[in-house]
């Protein structure tokens, strides 16, 4: 479930292949930590984009075509963000 309390975004979700966020960047250089975080954001965004697409289908079933279109646009926006993250990783690799 999502919530926005005092400007903080929190929600429940699952990641494939369990892990905790605290241990994944412990002994890495700052550049490697940054790369790992961007990779995590890409995976996280893909999960959200897939969920948006699924809910768009449900909205279509309910006859909520405008809601479905907006959810599909949100999924497309998330994929666009991931392209930016991919470019960021490419820049990190080039340095």
Residue 6 lies in a domain: no
The domain containing residue 72 runs over which residues? Answer: 28-94
Give the Cα-Cα-Cα angle 41, 46, 48 (nearest 5 degrees): 95
- pTM, to two decimals: 0.69
Whether 15 is covered by a domain: the verdict is no
Does any domain span residue 86?
yes
Q: What's the number of domains the chain is made of?
A: 1
**Burial per residue of 64-77, b for 16 or more beta-carbon CB atoms within 10 angstroms, e otherwise:** eeeebeebbebbee
In a domain, 2, yes or no: no
Q: Over its length of 95 residues, how does the chain's per-residue pLDDT go in tens digits?
A: 444 444 445 555 555 544 455 555 568 899 999 999 999 999 999 999 999 999 999 999 999 999 999 999 999 999 999 999 999 999 998 87
4 found inside a domain: no
């Amino acid at each position: 479930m999502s919530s926005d309390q005092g400007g903080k975004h929190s929600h429940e979700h699952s990641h494939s292949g369990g892990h905790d966020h605290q241990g994944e960047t412990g002994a890495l250089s700052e550049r490697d930590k940054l790369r790992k975080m961007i990779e995590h954001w890409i995976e996280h965004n893909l999960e959200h984009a897939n969920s948006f697409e699924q809910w768009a289908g449900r909205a279509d079933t309910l006859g909520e075509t405008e809601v479905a279109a907006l959810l599909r646009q949100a999924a497309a926006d998330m994929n666009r963000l991931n392209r930016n993250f991919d470019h960021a990783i490419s820049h990190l690799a080039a340095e």
